[in-house]
Amino acid sequence: MKIAIVVPGGMDRTGEYRVIPVFLALVARLAQRHDVHVFVLHQEPLPATWPLLGATVHNIGDGWPRLRAIAAIRAEHRLAPFALIHAIFSGSCSFVAVAAAKWLRIASLVHIAGGELVALHGIGYGGRRRWKGRLREAVVLRATDAVTAASTPIVDSLAVLGIAARRIPLGVDTTAWPPLAPRRRAAPRARLMHVASLNLVKDQTTLLRALAALRDAGVDFEMDIVGVDTLQGRMDGLARQLGLDAHVRFLGFRTQRELRPLVEASDLLVMSSMHEAGPLVLLEAAVAGVPTVGTAVGHLAEWSPVAALAVDVGDWVGLATAIQRVLLDEALRCRLAAAAQHRALAEDADHTARTFETLYHELLARRGTVA
């Protein structure tokens, strides 16, 4: 089967920097059995093509990327026809995938993986903030053959809009993140971890205020914060203002190989996002035997209270309380870790690829097409 996958980025030719690990895991598995072509809208400024993990990556580059991506898909289709087109993320990706599929009279599907369905006006985030975005999503998501989403909260958001969707989590590559059994804390000082770009939707302001409350409650901890800083040092400044210098380290970007030992050495992952479809790092931590406390978004909302603990978005007092509760109850922390790992391993990258393949065949059968 020849498959076109449309993504916004995350497919760098190095396979290590500027990548989205779940994209790599899915593409690598599909490419073992299919002819996979990935059309990436914004990886490099100039058009280029390169092999990656058994697939062919077509970088569209700057300047009218949606129209040129449609043209690139049509050109590749003329060489040998695609069976279907799969957009990961809606917005521009889904527009490209559905428009090209309609033109070529083949199947398409769209996976919701980010903030396509939200409108967080206060921070300028979300695909539904403007009428053009709302109209585009309304048209595209009804025109495609299938819609999927990473977590139940996103499936529920789609249902509110009258769109039926199937839940397909983007799972962890357990060859890159081999399972590690949950273990008891090794030291009195708790080791906390936060992995996310420093930006407004990840809401590190809530995180840091929770950490200040945790310190004031007498909890001994240290936290490593891993992620690219898009806020020009504002979070570092807030940490200093809150007197957290002795407790928090900002480590910047880390590759997956560099991140893994940091996660393994931690006792608890803490997330503070205003919105998530996943997040992947919760799944990676779970596979590594580390539980998560955070805001009630994505998988956190799904898993709480059995496999994670979740509090309301923006509730830094509640977040501090939940962190303290887990750190003071080792039996609870280990139960959460074991339950989280069970769920993450049941829906790993192999499961993701198999589930999408099943859906591909369903769509082709519905159209009377033989792969």
- pLDDT tens for the chain, 371 residues long, are 999 999 999 999 998 888 999 999 999 999 999 999 999 999 999 999 999 999 999 999 999 999 999 999 999 999 999 999 999 998 899 999 999 999 999 999 999 988 888 889 999 988 888 888 888 888 999 999 999 999 999 999 999 999 999 999 999 999 999 999 999 998 999 999 999 999 999 999 999 999 999 999 999 999 999 999 999 999 999 999 999 999 999 999 999 999 999 999 999 999 999 999 999 999 999 999 999 999 999 999 999 999 999 999 999 999 999 999 999 999 999 999 999 999 999 999 999 999 999 999 999 999 887 66
**pLDDT computed for residue 370 by the predictor:** 61
Rounded Cα–Cα distance for residues 60 and 68 (Å): 7
Whole-prediction pTM: 0.94
Nearest Cα to 170, choosing from 9, 348, 34? 348
Cα-based distances in Å from 274 to 2, 13, 314: 37, 31, 7
| Cα torsion angle, 273, 277, 280, 282, sign | positive
Q: Which domains does the chain have, with CATH numbers?
A: 2-171+348-367 (3.40.50.2000), 190-346 (3.40.50.2000)
| Calpha distance 260→269 (Å, rounded) | 13
63 neighbors 86 (Cβ within 8 angstroms): no
Do 320 and 217 meet the contact criterion of CB atoms below 8 Å apart? yes
CA gap 132, 138 in Å, rounded: 10
Q: Pick from 201, 218, 179: which is nearest to 124 by CA?
A: 201
Pair type for strands 84-88 and 107-112: parallel
Q: What per-residue string of b and e applies to 90-127 under the rule 16 or more CB within 10 Å gives b?
A: bbbbbbbbbbbbeebebbbbbbbbbbbbbebeeeebbb
